Amino acid sequence: MNVLLIDDHFCAREGVACLLKQIIPELQVFEAENFDDGLTVAKQTLLNLVMLDVQLPGKDGLAGLAELKEAFPDLCVVMFSGLEDRELVFQALRLGAMGFIVKTVSRQAFVDALRDVLAGKVYLPASAVGPQRTVDSHTGDATEMPSVTDSASLGLTPREFEVLTWLVQGIGNKQIARQLGIEEQTVRNHLRPIYQKFGVAKRTELLVKAFERGDRVWEAGGGELIAVD
């Protein structure tokens, strides 16, 4: 398994590389200090994962993400950054990132994030999927956006809404089936119309669509990160 780290800070790259090798000893870790060097590695090496810093000299991480996904549509790319802005996180998802890991997370959270990403899940900072707030420019008062609490507001059946609320909290199909007391295939059958009604093809797109519409159908859990299948 090959992983590429693109970060202009040597210490950050070395630290992450060391941790990755502790998690999965058989990993081959490649490093690049800017996007162009990283792209050269990607063209010469079959990669399983790219960890891409948002702030890079020359071409920044988001522009690099778009270029990587255009050249390698199936490549798993995770943004890795000290920034934790909600819009930045969802912009990365729109461009095809499989997740967004903040550099300030705990060691265990980082390990869990990488394991889930390598298993095909999406990882987001809890701050990105917690209740959204707007700030009055005159008073400075923060107002939390209302939560969506009924299926009709989303055009979903009550059961589809139940499936959706579990899905966006990082619950896989098997676990959703267990929670609702139904078969896993039944969960899949409910997911198809949910995707159709939101006009999406996969769960990352569903998260982005919900964010853009302001639909708050989930609350962040107690952990630092939320994983979504």
Cα–Cα nearest to 81, from 116, 24, 128: 128
**CATH label of the domain that carries residue 187:** 1.10.10.10
Note whether 87 and 154 are same-domain residues. Answer: no
E strand map for the chain: 2-6, 28-32, 49-53, 77-81, 99-102, 122-125, 133-135, 142-144, 225-228
Q: pLDDT tens for residues 68-106?
A: 999 999 899 999 888 877 788 888 888 889 888 888 888
**CATH label of the domain that carries residue 30:** 3.40.50.2300
Note whether 208 and 151 are same-domain residues. Answer: yes
Phi–psi pair at 25, nearest 5 degrees: -55, -30
- Could you count the other beta carbons within 10 Å of the beta carbon of residue 11? 8
Give the pLDDT score at 70: 93
Contact 217, 148 (CB under 8 A): yes
Q: Is 82 a member of any domain?
A: yes
Q: Is 183 a member of any domain?
A: yes
Note whether 40 and 123 are same-domain residues. Answer: yes
SS3 state of residue 185: helix
Domains: count for the chain: 2
Q: Which residue has the higher pLDDT, 56 or 147?
A: 56
E strand map for 54-206: 77-81, 99-102, 122-125, 133-135, 142-144
Mark which of 100, 129, 158 sits at the end of a domain: 129
Residue 145's pLDDT band (boundaries 50, 70, 90)?
very low
Mark which of 90, 107, 129 sits at the end of a domain: 129
Cα–Cα nearest to 53, from 16, 94, 90: 16
Mark which of 95, 129, 163 sits at the end of a domain: 129
Q: pLDDT tens for residues 146-171?
A: 334 455 666 788 888 888 777 766 56
Note whether 85 and 188 are same-domain residues. Answer: no
The pTM for the full model equals 0.68
Residue span of the structural domain in which 95 resides = 2-129
Note whether 180 and 122 are same-domain residues. Answer: no
Give the pLDDT score at 170: 58
